[in-house]
Structure 1
């Protein structure tokens, strides 16, 4: 007698038993993101939380780390063009990027596609993505460092580089509520606050 185990079951089980900063204590309900979720599903991280160091690359193979964005709010999303929930989510991240850019918040979608920059550019062109950079995580190094059970994964960092909230699974980032939540988690853009005269 053979036991048929679906890919979904394996990934849900992996999400349940994963031991790591992001994956270890998340319920399996969001591990696969079979439908678009909501920013209401964001899990806020405790003050002082940290994540393992990570590095990703620009389309021209220049290394980047979160330190390169210090002083800016960051919405970092791990995704791939072959991931159904990621495909649904990316246009909403593009809308979010346009909505928060004036507040000095960047949306950084980091792709683990084996096809590299060419695959991501083709996807962007085919889905009218205009506000997102092409960023790469060859071999899924960030996903492995964070011990994430699946993608998409989004982590929001404040302007000091601290992780404030995370979500495993897709969400609609284009809503006014999502934009407001991201701005609140990233904190105010202090460069736009006028100096007080004494």
Structure 2
């Protein structure tokens, strides 16, 4: 319910995912994002899935509840400002779009389209981004 920036997550590596309920590939990858957060979420890493549906939050909240997403925090930008900013920077062609951001707020990687975020490749990607434990 309150505005947030990357600075609010300083020191934490983020997997920032933009999604919408009308986007079939977005809907398909939500359980995997939830599983990744459940398995690897910590004070060093967080999955931040931002819903970009316009209007109120009834539909996205119902969708997440219906599919049993319980570990992800609920973030949304009904103005599409975040998506439009990412698109202007040439990082988004459509939805879903996912960005891996290090603890200093620097973009490490980005991809367009869905991925199997609960698989071994995703875990290795996050582990590589986190580097050795301090």
Q: 2:32 aligns with which of 77, 86, 92?
A: 92
Equivalent position SS for 2:42: helix
Larger Rg: 1
**RMSD across aligned positions (CA):** 1.4
**Is contact 2:10–2:104 with CA below 8 Å preserved after alignment?**
yes
Map of 1:21 onto structure 2: none
**Is contact 1:75–1:156 with CA below 8 Å preserved after alignment?**
yes
Alignment of 1:155 with 2:99, yes or no, is yes
**Is contact 1:113–1:120 with CA below 8 Å preserved after alignment?**
yes
Alignment of 1:133 with 2:73, yes or no, is yes
**Is contact 1:152–1:169 with CA below 8 Å preserved after alignment?**
yes
Alignment of 1:168 with 2:112, yes or no, is yes
**Is contact 2:21–2:60 with CA below 8 Å preserved after alignment?**
yes
Q: Deviations over 1:15-69 (max 9, x none)?
A: xxxxxxxxxxxxxxxxxxxxxxxxxxxxxxxxxxxxxxxxxxxxx2x00000100
Map of 1:112 onto structure 2: 52
Gaps of 5+ in 2: none
Q: How far is the alpha carbon of 1:133 from its aligned partner? A: 1.1
Alignment of 1:76 with 2:16, yes or no, is yes
Structure 1 residues 107 and 119: CA distance shift in structure 2, 3 A: same
Q: 2:62 aligns with which of 122, 131, 150?
A: 122
Map of 1:64 onto structure 2: 4
Please, what TM-score do these two structures have when normalized by structure 1? 0.62
